[in-house]
Amino acid sequence: MDLLWTDFLNSDWHDWRGSGRREDRLDKPAWLAEFLTGWKLGAPMPPDPAETATLKQLRTLLRRMAEALAAGTALAPADLQELNEVLAGGPVVRQVAITAPGYRLDLVPLRQDWPQVRAEIAASLAGTLVEGEGARVRICENPDCCWVFYDDTRNRAKRFCDEKLCGNLMKVRRFRARRRAAAGQATEP
């Protein structure tokens, strides 16, 4: 399950296969445009260098918070204060809309700019915290990946961001390590 804040946070991409390659997708206007479109957010493209630096600061804050949540530790009050400051940058108006089963309350942004985008990202993390789901935040156990994800499994035991990619790769690595260890023991006198 992708969340706005995890999708943004994972813009610091690492090659999960172990090549050591890394890519900062916040420096790629095409990725940012796709991100905004995919999450139905608006902001002038491309962001200026100061705005890009501010986005990277937010990503660093979210990473720190995700690591604390994944470790089961309390969030630092200074981090919560910083998150609240980002949230204050995105004013919204409440609006009632008619839906098939009844009504829903929408939060409509007053602006379409980068502070509003940052506030929406921060609100996504805040929603995870408020709903008591912070314990479901995980960091992929593939040391080459570092992907942050939301564990939506019933038993909360998901260890890899993707079982077919990282999970499979780690199983193969463990299997090969066991074979090497067994072959090493068989040749010893």
Q: Which residues contact 30 (CB under 8 A, 6 or more apart)?
A: none
Cα radius of gyration (the chain): 20
| Cβ-based neighbour number of residue 151 at 10 Å | 18
Confidence check: pLDDT of 164 > 70: no
Q: For residue 175, what pLDDT is reported?
A: 67
pLDDT digits (tens, 9 = 90+) for 40-75: 999 999 999 999 999 999 999 999 999 999 999 999
Q: 58, 65 in Cβ contact below 8 A?
A: no
For residue 168, name the pLDDT band (cuts at 50, 70, 90): low
Q: Say what the pLDDT of residue 162 is.
A: 67
Q: What residues have CB less than 8 Å from 9, skipping those under 6 apart?
A: 59, 62, 63, 66, 148
> Which of these, 57, 118, 73, 130, lies nearest to 91 by C-alpha position?
118
The helix/strand/coil state of 39 is coil
Q: Is 109 helix (H, G, I), strand (E, B) or coil?
A: strand
Rounded to whole angstroms, the Cα distance separating 178 from 12 reads: 32
Per-residue pLDDT tens for 120-161? 999 999 999 998 787 888 888 878 788 888 887 777 777 777
- Coil, strand or helix at 154: coil
Q: For position 188, what pLDDT does the model report? A: 63
* Predicted local confidence at residue 170, as pLDDT: 64
Output the pLDDT for position 30. 95
pTM across the whole model:
0.80
What per-residue confidence (pLDDT) applies to 11?
A: 94
The pair of three-digit structure tokens given for residue 114, joined into one six-digit string: 């980068």
Asked whether residue 163 carries a pLDDT value surpassing 80, the answer given is no
Burial call 14-49: b when 16+ CB within 10 Å, e when fewer: bebeeeeeeeeebeeeeebeebbeebebebeeebee
Residue 160 CB coordination number (10 Å): 21
